[in-house]
Structure 1
Amino acid sequence: MLKMMNVSQVSYFTLSAYFDIGLFRYVVFIFLMCVYIFIISSNVLLIAVIFVNRSLHKPMYMFLCSLFVNELYGSTSLFPFLLVQILSDVHTVSVPLCFLQIFFLYMYVNVEFYNLAVMSYDRYLAICHPLHYNTQMSLNKVVRLTALLWGLSVVVIVLMITFNVSSELCGTTIDRVFCANYYVVKLSCNSATVSNIYGLVYTFSVLFSLAALIFYTYFKILQVCFSGSKETRQKAVSTCTPHLVSLLNFSFGSFFAVLQSRFEMTRVPNVIRIILSLYFITCQPLLNPLLYGLKLSKIQIICKTLFYSQK
């Protein structure tokens, strides 16, 4: 018979997805450390470039700056924890730290999706309504939208965690290499009806609405591209390609994470499951600096100028 425990009575969770890889752990540790250093340095560099150069104080680059800050935030909430766990022989995490990591990671996911949705709306205005762009997307509006997407994410995640803190648990083992809300909900002795209803309402009311906004904006952008001049198509391709690739990469990563959590994948090798679960939080902050740093000509020119001027 399963023992029922209140969350306040549990001192730690066990992360069962880790497996013994012997001395190979040091190779994985060095690899992840190098990835983390690259993510930090590249995102900090691009934030500094946007912040220092007044020519980049425009809506698109302000949203990019918010995106890069979120990449720093999300990767820092995961990588140090992973590095410690890789070198550790006991894979446990205290309950407060587990919920703190859930807050950070889900905050990252929400801000990333909100930010990409707002960026698609910004590109829609710039390409489909260029004459009214400066009035409809002023810097004050950029600040309000950025504050809204970060503030709304905080409220959403705090409410989600609140529903789980008071629940009764029938286990303390999380089949993951980091803490995830769905796996904590699975440990609940009851059906977690409130948490599930909240998740469904939020998904259909907010996430599907933002997804519809993204599809609408790109539908309109494609209409303009097919009916517009060659110059208009070139502008759309140069500014929308990085955003579209980033959006698709994040969507696929999130899909892999949802697929793994909702369906039984015991036949899939453990190492593949770990890679799929980490994809959305590792590849996105790794890819975005490369995408925007190499594809957006203004950032590329300024970065080249900074490096060559130091020689």
Structure 2
Amino acid sequence: MDNVSVVRVFTLSGLNEAMNYRVVLFTFTILYYCIILFFNISIVTIIVLDANLHEPMYVLLCTFCINGLYGTAGFYPKFLSDLLFASREISYEGCLLQAFVMYSFACCDLSILAIMAYDRYLAICRPLQYCSLMTNRRLSQLVCFSWLTPLCIFSINIVLTSQLKLCGTNIQKMLCVNWIVVKLACPEADTFPNSVVAYMTVFLYVFHGFFIVWTYMHLVSTSVRSKGDRAKFMQTCIPHLVSLSTFLFTIVFDLMYMRFGSTDLPQSLQNFIAIEFLLIPPLMNPIIYGFKLTKIRNRILDLVNGKRK
């Protein structure tokens, strides 16, 4: 088998079947990516320019959309380029960079969702202390944590992967995944440090999940006590729950399939499973929040009505 220390290119065999329909796929993909860019950039712009939206919940939504732009930028431009030029290859460095972006994007999403849950917990369960607890400084610290933690963890992970001697160049996906690259390591390569970091990462983000469950146990128990709290819960927590459910479904389904799934499934279905976390959440999240949150919806309607006039 090829040694990637010499052959500095991976083959993305998940693209094999896609090349048969590359013109149609390119057309639909570029349209879909433009829609993702439009909705996310619109939400970010509205929040940044409107001083009335400079509140923790909207700042976190802005961060959420920026992360969606970051994650999709790690996949769609490369995928579109592959379709345009009929390429199935990615450089060794480009593969590691893409794997880093994919993992850090997914973990940052979960961190932001955890912070959103904490923000809603303070707003509904401890409203009198909300302003003193969710200060601008605290918010900045939490946002920095949501970004820096996955960036640091996966920097270590990618550095460890880059030290491995690889004995294969074929990645059976449409994009690079760190775990798949590690599986290409030669039998004599020591992948134990990679496994340790992977399990530590899983533990950290499973803790995020338990924290979200804990906050919602309190949110539900508080909301049932009064009509006002129920209204606030329905208005601000339902979009969060939909985003959380979609994120968990797409990520967990992909991880479970990657570890235990059958390779007998059609390649097109395998490809969809592999990239669904880049298809559904980045578009659905800004749409759900844009229509459900009153201030965002009203601001959008004002802009639309203003253009009509």
TM-score, scaled relative to structure 2: 0.95
Counterparts of 2:64 and 2:54 in 1: how far apart (Å)? 15
1:196 is matched with which residue?
Answer: 195
SS at match of 1:93: strand
1:46 is matched with which residue?
Answer: 43
Q: 1:22 to 1:261 in 2, by over 3 A?
A: closer
Larger mean CA deviation between 247-256 and 80-89 belongs to 80-89
Render the CA deviation track for 1:221-268: whole Å, top value 9, x for unaligned.
010122x21121011111000000000100011012102210242221
Report sequence identity in percent: 33
Q: 2:259 aligns with which of 254, 257, 262?
A: 262
1:304 is matched with which residue?
Answer: 301
1:217 aligns with 2:244: no
Larger mean CA deviation between 291-300 and 75-84 belongs to 75-84
8 Å CA contact 2:19, 2:83 repeated in 1: no
Opposite residue 217 of structure 1, the aligned amino acid is T
1:291 aligns with 2:291: no
1:146 aligns with 2:130: no
SS at match of 1:168: coil
In the TM superposition, residue 198 of structure 1 has moved relative to its aligned partner by 1.3
Counterparts of 1:21 and 1:116 in 2: how far apart (Å)? 33
8 Å CA contact 1:256, 1:277 repeated in 2: no
Q: Can you give the 5+ residue segments of structure 1 that lack an aligned partner in the other structure?
A: none
8 Å CA contact 2:111, 2:208 repeated in 1: yes
Counterparts of 1:27 and 1:304 in 2: how far apart (Å)? 34
Q: Count residues with an aligned counterpart.
A: 306
Counterparts of 2:201 and 2:180 in 1: how far apart (Å)? 18
Considering only aligned residues, what root-mean-square deviation do their CA atoms show, in Å? 1.4
SS at match of 2:282: helix
SS at match of 2:243: helix
1:125 is matched with which residue?
Answer: 122
Counterparts of 1:46 and 1:198 in 2: how far apart (Å)? 35
Counterparts of 1:208 and 1:259 in 2: how far apart (Å)? 15
8 Å CA contact 1:182, 1:261 repeated in 2: no
Q: 1:240 aligns with which of 237, 260, 266?
A: 237
Q: 2:82 aligns with which of 60, 85, 102?
A: 85
Opposite residue 205 of structure 2, the aligned amino acid is L
1:158 aligns with 2:155: yes
Q: Can you give the 5+ residue segments of structure 2 that lack an aligned partner in the other structure?
A: none
Q: 2:7 aligns with which of 1, 10, 25?
A: 10
8 Å CA contact 2:17, 2:268 repeated in 1: no
Q: 1:92 to 1:43 in 2, by over 3 A?
A: same
1:67 aligns with 2:61: no
1:249 is matched with which residue?
Answer: 246
Render the CA deviation track for 1:146-191: whole Å, top value 9, x for unaligned.
1121111211110010111010111111111011101101101135
Counterparts of 2:216 and 2:22 in 1: how far apart (Å)? 44
Render the CA deviation track for 1:280-309: whole Å, top value 9, x for unaligned.
112110100111000101100011101211
SS at match of 2:15: coil
Counterparts of 1:299 and 1:89 in 2: how far apart (Å)? 41
Counterparts of 2:150 and 2:264 in 1: how far apart (Å)? 35
Opposite residue 200 of structure 1, the aligned amino acid is Y
